[in-house]
Structure 1
Amino acid sequence: MTGRVLIIAGSDSGGGAGIQADIKTVTALKGYAATAITALTAQNTLGVHGVFGVDPEFIASQIRVVLEDIGADALKTGMLHSAAVIETVAAELGAYTERIPLVLDPVMVAQSGASLLDPEAVGSLKEHLLPLADILTPNVPEAEKLSGLEIRSVEDMQAAAQQLLQQGPNAVLLKGGHMAGNSLSDVLATPEGIEVFSDTRIDTEHTHGTGCTLASAIAAGLAQGMTRSAAVRRARAYLRRALQSPPGHGQGAGGVDHSHTVGAFRED
């Protein structure tokens, strides 16, 4: 087990997204997952039925005690539902992000459409956390909100990723899953240029937690010493395989097969 990842995110009681997906992903990729929980959600495959926020000072305490004792090789944030939470997390992580890469997943809306970020907190996210991020991982709707640009093509994705890069992160991975068509592209923008990852779309309705899963897989790769490009490539391969064999639990859009790698790591 190599690579310590501190995950700062909300809990999904249904197990498909949030902290639960994050822990499964990091563990499946042979990393060590520690957590600071920002909110509890009453959630299943049919939607989000309630959100209970954790006091920001207690979130700060979780972060502080983990980093002071266990430490981390990468940081990952998910659901940070309010400006107060965002500012608290930024204050706690600020002293660490120069030497520990932060994967910032700007969780704004759940797959079901439920809002997971107060609208007035978007400005706080841009001001306080984007400049700390090593990789920002928005989907298309999130990138549109953060950049103010309309995204309708891969070329638009590249322009938006480059615009977001100017807001402070070291890299931007703009995910194309919300785009129409049978081909799916993700765009990785860094100061060195653009890299486009393209694959055919996997035909499944079980896509709950894919954003959390991909971001945590990237964080695990960075924690294990991979380059950004290599971490993104492995994370995409891991998620694609997980999408191909979902467990199918629940009546709605379920989670993916986070454990598909487990057998591959047996040593005879």
Structure 2
Amino acid sequence: MASQILIIAGHDSSGHAGLVRDVSVVSSKGFWPAVVLTALTVQSKTRFFSSRVVSKSFLKQQLQSWSSVNQFSAVKIGMLGDGSIVKTVAGFLSRRKIPVVLDPVLVSTTGGRLLSRAGAKLMLDCLVPKTSLWTPNVAEASYFFGREIKSKKDVSEAAQFLFSKTNTPLLIKGFVWEKKVYDFFMDSNHKRWFLSPLLSTHPRGTGCALSSFLACALGKGMSIEQAVMKGRKDFKHWLSFKS
């Protein structure tokens, strides 16, 4: 069997994001996707209808079902839904030493709230420090930073604040300035900007895809910085077929 990547995320019924997107990316990179479902959402391509978070006991049962797997190559975390799910996943990770990429999903592209405010606080305090890399977009970074990011200076200040608070490498993605898109990576040794052209189309599930590509790169034994470069390269190649 191929090396496994554990995906802990919610299901988007439109098929454009969430678990469906994660499984597609992980499989395309030669890994076997092991899945833990956190929530179900009802969405179309453009509209959010509702969501349901799984029970804590059901989540624990799913995690327990994978306890016999000695070592996943990496873990990718997406939508968690509420604080009880966040705490349970954090507890699961505390018992394993494994590369983890967290996409801190707060709101869907279609406008539905996917994590409670209490859950977001728990995520920042309890879960992010247990991960290897997290990938907030500008809106998510603004939320955790406590003020709106309006400039490249704000991006770097937000990254510094969040890194000092969590001691966890991060990639703030999607700051748009003068028809270009800037991503900012920071860890204890590096600060680096990445620049991409602004696309005319905006496909759904890009955050899910990028974090999954990053998890795959870490799953191949790369350093955090190497994984960010490789994951972004794979993501840009994937995006070229979606635009």
TM-score by length of 2: 0.94
Alignment correspondent of 1:252: none
Alignment correspondent of 2:18: 18
Cα distance in 1 for residues equivalent to 2:122 and 2:40: 21
Alignment correspondent of 2:85: 85
Pairing of 1:59-98 with structure 2 (within 5 A): 59-69=59-69, 71-96=71-96
The one-letter amino acid paired with 1:209 is G
Match of 1:215 among 211, 218, 221: 211
How far 1:214 sits from its partner (Å)? 0.4
Comparing 185-194 with 232-241, greater Cα deviation is found at: 232-241
Preserved contact between residue 3 and residue 220 of structure 1 (Cα < 8 Å): no
Comparing 138-147 with 25-34, greater Cα deviation is found at: 25-34
Cα distance in 1 for residues equivalent to 2:12 and 2:67: 24
Pairing of 1:1-150 with structure 2 (within 5 A): 3-69=3-69, 71-96=71-96, 99-150=97-148
- Structure 2 vs 1, CA of residues 15 and 136 (structure 1 numbering), >3 Å: closer, same or farther? same
Are 2:182 and 1:185 equivalent residues in the alignment?
A: yes
Preserved contact between residue 18 and residue 78 of structure 1 (Cα < 8 Å): yes
Comparing 64-73 with 139-148, greater Cα deviation is found at: 64-73
Alignment correspondent of 1:203: 200
How far 1:237 sits from its partner (Å)? 2.1
Preserved contact between residue 50 and residue 112 of structure 2 (Cα < 8 Å): no
Cα distance in 2 for residues equivalent to 1:105 and 1:117: 12
TM-score by length of 1: 0.85
The one-letter amino acid paired with 2:213 is A
Identity of aligned residues (%): 33
Cα distance in 2 for residues equivalent to 1:75 and 1:136: 12
How far 1:188 sits from its partner (Å)? 0.7
Cα distance in 1 for residues equivalent to 2:156 and 2:5: 29
Identify which of structures 1 and 2 has the higher relative contact order when contacts are C-alpha pairs closer than 8 Å and 6+ apart.
1
Preserved contact between residue 125 and residue 166 of structure 2 (Cα < 8 Å): no
Comparing 16-25 with 48-57, greater Cα deviation is found at: 48-57
- Structure 2 vs 1, CA of residues 90 and 185 (structure 1 numbering), >3 Å: closer, same or farther? same
Preserved contact between residue 64 and residue 92 of structure 1 (Cα < 8 Å): no
1:42 partner SS: strand
| Number of matched pairs | 243
How far 1:2 sits from its partner (Å)? 5.2
- Structure 2 vs 1, CA of residues 3 and 156 (structure 1 numbering), >3 Å: closer, same or farther? farther
Aligned-residue Cα RMSD (Å) equals: 1.7
Cα distance in 1 for residues equivalent to 2:19 and 2:167: 23
How far 1:62 sits from its partner (Å)? 1.3
Alignment correspondent of 1:264: none
